[in-house]
């Protein structure tokens, strides 16, 4: 590059393209993508987002200073991501009713797999083509978001508003906060988001602090990532069976995620760098399983809270809350590491935040068992999906083999 900047761009590239550095601040603008999608449809919004993301990487390939990288990766690419993810995932929720959570889990599994492969793939591109070539190739890859967006078919469903919302506040869906159930959900999600992303950033350094070597720390991260990806599919299938109400599953797996973070923070020091750190591997795997189960539920529960007509706007708002947590949680964890000398306090505090948010989820309808007899709910049309599954226990009546419905406390 001809300047000192060129000396550290190669090793900084994986961090610059990660979710918590340059692009994350603008990802908090995901409600804007949802608002535009509500007004003009998801197809053109996602296509424009793909073009902006690709241009951001291509512009950064010709950067001559860090300012250019901030403009390219931060402004252009970050704006593109803000336009892509929420409309695409919200539209996916509208396509499915009977298998909605499984569909969301499949989509998020792809996201997790790409995150797992990003670091080694970037290193290979850097070694082969240099950092400029790597950014150009990333620009070409992300341009594929445009044809993917073109495949999003507009779908008119019962429950959609008769006319697009007028005015910025209505388009952003801020009126959803006037609904008690969504307000409870949003508050819980904001607290969970503050601790949820800490392992993505500090699990490997924590493993090094616990005495594991470089390969042991990498293995810990891989175990957590694989468990996370697999759990998203299993939990998606489980949630779609309707055996347990989705808000209750959300609160349970959110609580298990918080307990997993506490366990990761309390793992003792490994005796030597040659050790595999079985206890840390086990706790990281348990965290990955619970966090993976939580991920599809947070989006699968939305149609039951806001209705199918507001699911795209609600998806953007939820992603904004999670992104704010991604901005606040890791810096807080790093600050606590600097103050205490290790990550124990960091994981304990972040686990406590996740537990607090999960306890707030218990205020959602259906999160706690009810002792009142429940009659069989009306089944909505397959495309609406606005009623959460209500599990019921079949009980034989004393007078014969005919079963009656009863809700267990």
Alpha-carbon span 176 to 161, nearest angstrom: 14
H or E segment and range at residue 396: strand 393-396
CB atoms within 10 A of CB 312: 26
The residue that leads in pLDDT, 4 or 264, is 264
Helix 311-340 vs helix 344-361: angle between axes, to the nearest 10 degrees? 150
CA–CA dist 30, 173 (Å, integer): 12
pLDDT value of residue 97: 82
The predicted-structure confidence for 302-359, as pLDDT tens digits, reads as follows: 998 998 888 999 999 998 888 888 788 888 998 999 999 888 999 999 999 999 999 9
pLDDT the model gives residue 160: 81
**Tens-place pLDDT, residues 353-408:** 999 999 999 999 888 887 654 444 444 444 444 334 444 433 333 444 443 333 44
**Which pLDDT value is given to residue 5?**
46
3-state SS assignment for residue 363: coil
Which pLDDT does position 136 carry in this prediction? 93
- Average pLDDT taken over every residue of the chain: 81
Please, which residues bridge with residue 85 across strands?
none
- Residue-level pLDDT at 271: 53
- Find the range with the poorest average confidence among 167-176, 224-233, 293-302: 167-176
User: What pLDDT, on a 0 to 100 scale, did the predictor assign at position 286?
Assistant: 93
d(CA 339, CA 321): 27
Nearest Cα neighbor of 316 from 103, 28, 51 is 28
With contact defined as beta carbons under 8 Å apart, do 34 and 67 qualify? no
Report the distance separating Cα 18 and Cα 24, nearest Å. 8
For residue 8, pLDDT over 50 is answered with no
Tell me which long-range contacts 68-76 makes (C-beta under 8 A, separation of at least 24).
Answer: 69/9, 69/16, 69/22, 70/22, 73/16, 73/17, 73/22, 73/23, 74/22, 74/23, 74/25, 74/26, 75/26, 76/52
If one counts every other C-beta atom within 10 angstroms of the C-beta of residue 273, the result is 14
User: How much is the average pLDDT of 210-237?
Assistant: 85
Q: How far apart are CA 246 and CA 259, in angstroms?
A: 20
Task: Using the CB atoms, write b or e for 87-121: b if 16+ within 10 Å.
Answer: bbbbbbbbebbeebbbbbbebbbeebeeebeeeeb
Could you give the CA distance from residue 208 to residue 223 in angstroms, rounded to a whole number?
15
Residues 102 and 7: their CA atoms lie apart, in Å, by: 45
What is the pLDDT at residue 397? 39
Torsional sign, CA 305, 233, 222, 247? positive
Tell me the pLDDT tens digit for each residue of 83-127: 998 899 989 988 988 889 999 998 888 776 776 677 677 778 888
Closest by Cα among 391, 346, 323, 378 to 26: 323
Q: Is the pLDDT of residue 4 over 70?
A: no
Give me the DSSP letters along 115-127.
HHHHHHHHHHHHH
From the list 396, 407, 312, the residue with the least C-alpha distance to 369 is: 407
Segment 245-251 shows an average pLDDT of 94
Give pLDDT, residue 394.
Answer: 38
Rounded Cα distance between 200 and 225, Å, is 9
What does pTM read for this prediction? 0.81
């Amino acid at each position: 590059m001809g300047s000192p900047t060129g000396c550290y761009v190669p090793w900084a590239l994986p961090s610059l393209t990660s979710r918590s550095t340059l692009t994350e601040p603008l990802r908090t603008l995901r409600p804007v993508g949802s608002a535009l999608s509500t007004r003009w449809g998801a197809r053109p919004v996602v296509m424009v987002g793909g073009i902006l993301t690709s241009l951001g990487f291509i512009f950064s390939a010709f950067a001559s200073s860090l300012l250019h990288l901030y403009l390219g990766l931060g402004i252009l690419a970050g704006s593109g991501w803000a336009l892509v993810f929420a409309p695409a995932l919200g539209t996916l929720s509208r396509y499915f009713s009977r298998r909605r959570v499984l569909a969301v889990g499949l989509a998020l599994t792809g996201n997790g797999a790409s995150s797992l492969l990003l670091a080694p793939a970037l290193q290979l591109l850097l070694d082969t083509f240099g950092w400029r070539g790597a950014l150009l190739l990333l620009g070409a890859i992300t341009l594929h978001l445009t044809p993917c967006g073109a495949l999003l078919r507009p779908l008119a469903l019962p429950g959609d508003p008769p006319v697009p919302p007028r005015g910025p506040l209505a388009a952003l869906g801020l009126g959803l906060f006037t609904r008690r159930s969504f307000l409870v959900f949003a508050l819980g999600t904001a607290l969970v988001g503050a601790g949820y992303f800490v392992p993505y950033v500090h699990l490997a350094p924590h493993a090094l602090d616990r005495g594991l070597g470089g390969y042991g720390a990498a293995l810990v991260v891989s175990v957590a990532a694989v468990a996370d990806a697999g759990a998203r599919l299993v939990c998606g299938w489980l949630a779609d069976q309707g055996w347990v109400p989705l808000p209750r599953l959300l609160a349970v797996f959110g609580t298990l995620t918080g307990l997993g973070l506490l366990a990761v923070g309390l793992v003792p020091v490994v005796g030597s760098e040659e050790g595999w750190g079985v206890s840390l591997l086990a706790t990281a795997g348990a965290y990955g399983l619970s966090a993976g189960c939580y991920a599809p539920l947070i989006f699968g529960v939305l149609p039951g809270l806001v209705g199918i007509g507001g699911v795209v706007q609600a998806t953007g708002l939820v992603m904004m809350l999670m992104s704010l947590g991604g901005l606040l949680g890791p810096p807080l964890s790093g600050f606590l590491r600097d103050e205490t000398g290790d990550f124990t306090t960091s994981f304990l505090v972040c686990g406590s935040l996740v537990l607090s948010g999960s306890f707030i989820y218990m205020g959602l309808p259906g999160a706690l068992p009810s002792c009142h007899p429940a009659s069989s709910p009306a089944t909505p049309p397959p495309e609406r999906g606005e009623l959460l599954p209500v599990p019921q226990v079949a009980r034989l009546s004393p007078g014969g083999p005919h079963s009656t419905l009863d809700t267990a406390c």
